[in-house]
Structure 1
């Protein structure tokens, strides 16, 4: 299944068409996107056997954040060895955790206003939780996953790195600094949920010396230092994960700071994860 947020209502997306979940279920699920994840087990049981009506075509510009109001947003730092290497930092022995404040969440294809000349990109797999989860092991953690989406962890590096202590969460939480989508994809839709190709292509002024189009990131989630189920299990030893919670799982090498570049007005970044689709952000 692919669950999206179309103009504020939960929908199932198939082949460029959308079915309104609340209408198809006679009001049993939705219409608020978060409500679907709060009833995730019952919803998936219903969806397996439901006789859905024909979907309606939709405009991708109407897609909003698949979960616009999660109770918690977690982000994991330094979770790919190649990214730790380019950052000249040691591989972590434990999860490096911060948050992106919920006001930074946005739909998949938003325009991002650059607050400074020091904004960076980080393409990430986003995990959506489908069950309340506390103190679970790795096997139990897998069962709590509702699905995956594509996310961007944009960062204003000067705010993030200013002293006396780093301000990770603040520097990563400007408006539209956490776009994600286009839909939440259940793991049964993916050939290998543990090995997804993660790519980012930058076009515009910053890519001018590369013919106008530059593949700046190309990695795989198979290289995560802490795989998805381990992230969930480790987080759950401290916090209670709730339905609809988001986890940004880290980024592979190729971020701007590692390349000595930052985003400029007129740039466009397209982030792609195999099986999940693509999201595109423009910068002004």
Structure 2
């Protein structure tokens, strides 16, 4: 268990929990958890029938006659086994401006003022006429919100990327942006870890990036602690994303800084793939990654992460060697 219990917005949330003998889906109400095994076999099953089951969850959250367990006595696991994991890259304006400006200074010899002005102009144009950049992740990378992060043997520049993630609650294809929020069942926290020095393949320069190797090591996607229903989160375009690395604040940004908002992301990905209940969509990471600070993860480090209304994560880093 974490040092402090995670909290959540609204009257209840969903999660997956374990004790000495079993793993089960649970309804979280403050410090208490109701076992949902008699209601559904998994959190994924609840999401797959979200519109019909949500009113029943509300009723269950108010049933004093139900058997409730202390959250403090349970292991908090990743809340969901998703279908697709869709990950949005380069989706925070300040983050991308920092990256582009640094390249223009180091590679093209621009002054800091020129480099930043050019980068901001590029981002303004991307907002007006560009499209999101999205790639697929592996569900095998997921771990719990309080699990250890195990560094792979390959690579040295292991980095953090804290992100707001959403869970799809109904199937859809070619979803218009103006209807997209109706497809969001819940939100959660994901930390999309990346091994920076494994991101490019020197042996295959014509192909370029290797997203599989750089981002999909076991434990490289701590997720949770809960799924908080969208109805309780308020405006997801204005929540705070904060990550501390060994007690030092490294990321601290509002989702207002997104280049492409959630409706545009959903519209974009659904133009290619059919979205189904239980799909997980990560919305990008704000400025403040380790690459920005020149600091990367090593054994013994601790990351503490939180997003407004969704709880917090705490992960200790250890070597896999």
Query: Which whole-Å CA distance do the structure 2 matches of 1:171 and 1:44 have between them?
Result: 37
> Of 136, 156, 160, which residue of structure 2 is paired with 1:99?
136
**3-state SS in 1 of match to 2:224:** strand
Provide the alpha-carbon RMSD of the alignment.
1.6
User: Could you tell me the TM-score, scaled by structure 1's length?
Assistant: 0.90
- Structure 1 residue 74 and structure 2 residue 58: aligned? no
- Structure 1 residue 18 and structure 2 residue 33: aligned? yes
- Structure 1 residue 276 and structure 2 residue 310: aligned? yes
The residue number in structure 1 matching 2:71 is 58
Q: What are structure 1's unaligned runs of at least 5 residues?
A: 204-212
The residue number in structure 2 matching 1:39 is 49
Asked if the contact 1:14–1:55 (Cα under 8 Å) also holds between the matched residues in 2, the reply is no
Query: Which whole-Å CA distance do the structure 2 matches of 1:122 and 1:60 have between them?
Result: 30
The residue number in structure 2 matching 1:4 is 15
Deviation at 1:60? Answer: 7.1
The residue number in structure 2 matching 1:238 is 272
Deviates further, 106-115 or 40-49: 40-49
Asked if the contact 2:156–2:197 (Cα under 8 Å) also holds between the matched residues in 1, the reply is no
Query: Which whole-Å CA distance do the structure 1 matches of 2:281 and 2:51 have between them?
Result: 20
Query: Which whole-Å CA distance do the structure 1 matches of 2:194 and 2:293 have between them?
Result: 15
Task: Assess, with a 3 A threshold, how the Cα gap between structure 1 residues 21 and 139 changes in structure 2: closer, same or farther.
Answer: farther
Larger Rg: 2
Asked if the contact 2:241–2:306 (Cα under 8 Å) also holds between the matched residues in 1, the reply is yes
> Of 164, 168, 192, which residue of structure 1 is paired with 2:235?
192
* CA deviation vs aligned residue, 1:100-138 (integer Å, no higher than 9, x gap): 211101111110111242100000001111111111112
Spell out structure 1 runs of 4+ moving beyond 6 A: none
User: Could you tell me the TM-score, scaled by structure 2's length?
Assistant: 0.80
